[in-house]
Amino acid sequence: MSILEENINRTELSQIGEFGLIDHLTKNVELKNDSSVKGIGDDCAVLDYSHKQTLVTKDLLIEGVHFDLTYAPLRHLGYKAAVVNFSDVVAMNGHPKQLIVGLGASNRFSVEALEEIYAGIYLACEKYGVDVVGGDTVSSSAGLVISITCIGEAKKADLVFRDTAKKGDLIFVSGNLGAAYMGLLVLEREKQAFKADPNLQPDLSGHDYILSRQLKPEARIDVLDMLKNAGVKPTSMIDLSDGLASDLLHLCEKSKLGCSIYEDKLPIDFTTAAMAQEFNIEPAIAALNGGEDYELLFTVSQKDYEKLKEVKEITVIGHMTEEAAGRNLISQSGSQITLRAQGWDAFLKNDGKL
Amino acid sequence: MSILEENINRTELSQIGEFGLIDHLTKNVELKNDSSVKGIGDDCAVLDYSHKQTLVTKDLLIEGVHFDLTYAPLRHLGYKAAVVNFSDVVAMNGHPKQLIVGLGASNRFSVEALEEIYAGIYLACEKYGVDVVGGDTVSSSAGLVISITCIGEAKKADLVFRDTAKKGDLIFVSGNLGAAYMGLLVLEREKQAFKADPNLQPDLSGHDYILSRQLKPEARIDVLDMLKNAGVKPTSMIDLSDGLASDLLHLCEKSKLGCSIYEDKLPIDFTTAAMAQEFNIEPAIAALNGGEDYELLFTVSQKDYEKLKEVKEITVIGHMTEEAAGRNLISQSGSQITLRAQGWDAFLKNDGKL
């Protein structure tokens, strides 16, 4: 939503009221999944998970902490809010099926602004085959609050947890790392430049890839399919929301193991590396501590290694060790560095940045 | 949380960090329900609803809109946040089984303050047999945000919706109406008095019942059991969160019917009526438009009336009519008044009051 759009067509929330707003935002919803029995319009959504295990995850996103409306377009924000929840279901080796949306917004938002958020949510749901089955839209005295609950399914035998990695398992990541963080830094830089001189046009050209990784991430449901086709079930899995170091430490702690990963194995896109250099950041640091990549981090039994050799989009970066060996990064020079979680920690840093 | 407690024992959120906080707040959780397969600690909760329908509801509560920390003790707030979600599951004729808690809090809250909220949530879960299976605790730049998702179960044949009332069905409510609203008015009055003179002690004596209805509501799961024992399944049902008028209009709209209810049938506790008089409000207006009673409003086929004669705690207040007859209140003097929703509408009133 640009300021321009706001001026052209602005319907006040008070014009249609709470119930009118929910109806308006959800009037075209059609349920597509067999497990979606009853959607919006009653006290609860009704789901049928009689043949599968039910997965439930939720996220609470708060303006000024998790997103900055200065540079996050509302449609992208809706898309991302949905996708990061899909990603949690995918990280269990499950498939997202239903979404419930809670929005808290003050009168500074118009109906059209909330339509934009919903448009992004619907776009993500359309792409991932997910039904919106519930919505709650309330007044917020402060900033925008987005609360998403996602429900998904998995066969019991397919579920992959965090606490089931084994010593000697290989550690893989999908895609590449650090791009979303570099996208954030570019957006922050242009925001600061704009603040200093409001006549300045933001210079985002040439940064499409890292910007899309930050503003419009995807859940790696395609990686689940590739692993399945290869006949491999990961021994443990997590999605990369807080950063590789932090999330790998979760796997280690839950599985009571150590790990060794190798700096020179970390998959980093060349645009990420170039931008990291521009910001005077080691690309490996961006890969380790930059969050919000929403790639999958998973461990695989060594016996399955051959089966994965032909699978694209995944990279082996190390292996799990016994707990006493510690959690280590082996640098390019061969030195061993203890891994520390330096990703997002909401209460230490209040600005949504690393 | 009184200011005093805060001073005696205050642990800053930054001292334990986001992950430490979640661990701290949830370390004693034990799963009790068969349907709770895996709780806190992975990307998703895992549930098994292979023999039942799954019900999902969520609520987003925002400080300054839905609650006022001046008079809502944090423990009560946690209790209420959980119970109002249970109430939505109960309103489908279902039983709540799992809860996922999202908290957004700024640094002005201590660890002890969040413990109080969780203590209230756990108390409610203990009482209603619900497992806490997930939590998300994030930083909020503004006020306290509580986002709750509740999952419940029902046999398919037991589900009761809003859109299935029939012409001629009798309209029942459980318990009594308007008490929660009167409790709110007393709290507001004492808050204003305290603002005017901070040395004044709030005078809440003698108002225990209406205050508990406002601060610590209950979900009427007991009414489900009574109806079941009487061999009666309601034809439609909703819980009273927005007020009788507003919620009955929902049943009418969804079922495409009209209704007639009778002023002299509305069940009103004598303490509610007395307080309404003190505030110069017609008790019937408090009953119609005062929200947050969390009683059940349901319709029953006339042929089942005899079966319900002995059931305590429920009152017949009118009947459903054809849509063209309108939605009406018949006053004590016999005049017919069109029902209007004047309950809570979040975007019209920004203060959480009627």
Which one, of B224, B254, B268, B219, lies nearest residue B239 by Cα?
B219
Residue B8 pLDDT = 57
Residues of chain A contacting B83 with CB distance shorter than 8 Å = none
B-facing residues of A in 224-253 (CB < 8 A) are 237-239
Strand ranges of the sheet holding A314-321, from the earlier edge strand across to the other edge: A236-239, A296-300, A170-174, A314-321, A258-262, A327-330, A336-338
Residue B343 pLDDT = 52
As a whole number, mean pLDDT of residues A185-199 equals 89
Residues of chain B contacting A238 with CB distance shorter than 8 Å = 43
* Cβ within 8 Å, pair A161-B59: no
As a whole number, mean pLDDT of residues A51-59 equals 92
- Token reading at A226: 């590739």
The pTM score is 0.90
Partner-chain residue, chosen from B56, B237, B345, that has the shortest CB–CB distance to A149: B56
pLDDT over 60 (residue B81): yes
Residues of chain A contacting B141 with CB distance shorter than 8 Å = 62-65, 142-143, 350
Residue B301 pLDDT = 98
pLDDT over 70 (residue A139): yes
Q: How far is A103 from A125, CA to CA, in rounded Å?
A: 17
Give per-residue pLDDT as tens, B109-127.
Answer: 888 999 999 999 999 999 9
* Cβ within 8 Å, pair B159-A46: yes
What structural domains and CATH numbers belong to chain A? Answer: 3-158 (3.30.1330.10), 170-338 (3.90.650.10)
As a whole number, mean pLDDT of residues A159-168 equals 96
**Range with lowest mean pLDDT among A6-20, A78-92, B264-278, B322-336:** A6-20
The distance of B278 to chain A (nearest Cα, Å) reads 30
Mean pLDDT of chain A: 90
* Cβ within 8 Å, pair A345-B17: yes
* Cβ within 8 Å, pair A64-B141: yes
Residues 6+ apart with CB under 8 A from A257: A165, A166, A167, A251, A320, A321, A322, A323
* Cβ within 8 Å, pair A347-B143: no
Residue A264 pLDDT = 96
CA distances B252 to A192, B237, B259, B322, Å, are 54, 11, 7, 10
Nearest CA in chain A to B155: A48
Q: How far is B246 from B342, CA to CA, in rounded Å?
A: 7
Residues forming a β-bridge with B298:
B172, B237
DSSP state for residue A354 in the 8-state scheme: -
Residue B115 pLDDT = 92
User: Is B159 at the interface with chain A, CB within 8 A?
Assistant: yes
Residues 6+ apart with CB under 8 A from B7: none
Nearest CA in chain B to A105: B347
Residue B350 pLDDT = 35
Strands A327-330 and A258-262: parallel
* Cβ within 8 Å, pair B56-A47: yes
**Range with lowest mean pLDDT among A85-89, A194-198, B95-99:** A194-198
Residue A349 pLDDT = 37
* Cβ within 8 Å, pair A104-B136: no
User: Is B162 at the interface with chain A, CB within 8 A?
Assistant: yes
* Cβ within 8 Å, pair B21-A350: no
Residues of chain A contacting B98 with CB distance shorter than 8 Å = 56
* Cβ within 8 Å, pair B62-A141: yes
Q: How confident is the model at residue A73 (pLDDT cuts 50, 70, 90)?
A: very high
User: Is A157 at the interface with chain B, CB within 8 A?
Assistant: no
Q: How confident is the model at residue B128 (pLDDT cuts 50, 70, 90)?
A: very high
Instruction: Report the range out of A227-241, B35-49, B191-205 with the highest average pLDDT.
Output: A227-241
Count of beta carbons in the 10 Å neighbourhood of residue B112: 15
Q: How far is B219 from B242, CA to CA, in rounded Å?
A: 15
pLDDT over 80 (residue B168): yes
| First and final C-alpha spacing in chain A | 26
Give per-residue pLDDT as tens, A234-277.
Answer: 999 999 999 999 999 999 999 999 999 999 999 999 999 999 99
Q: How far is B89 from B221, CA to CA, in rounded Å?
A: 9
Q: Side chain identity at A1, as an amino acid letter?
A: M
Q: How confident is the model at residue A8 (pLDDT cuts 50, 70, 90)?
A: low
User: Is A137 at the interface with chain B, CB within 8 A?
Assistant: yes
Q: How confident is the model at residue B201 (pLDDT cuts 50, 70, 90)?
A: confident
Q: What are phi and psi of B67, to 5 degrees?
A: -155, 160
- Token reading at B177: 């109406």
pLDDT over 70 (residue A343): no
| First and final C-alpha spacing in chain B | 26
The distance of B287 to chain A (nearest Cα, Å) reads 21
Calculate Rg over the CA atoms of chain B.
Answer: 21
* Cβ within 8 Å, pair B134-A18: no
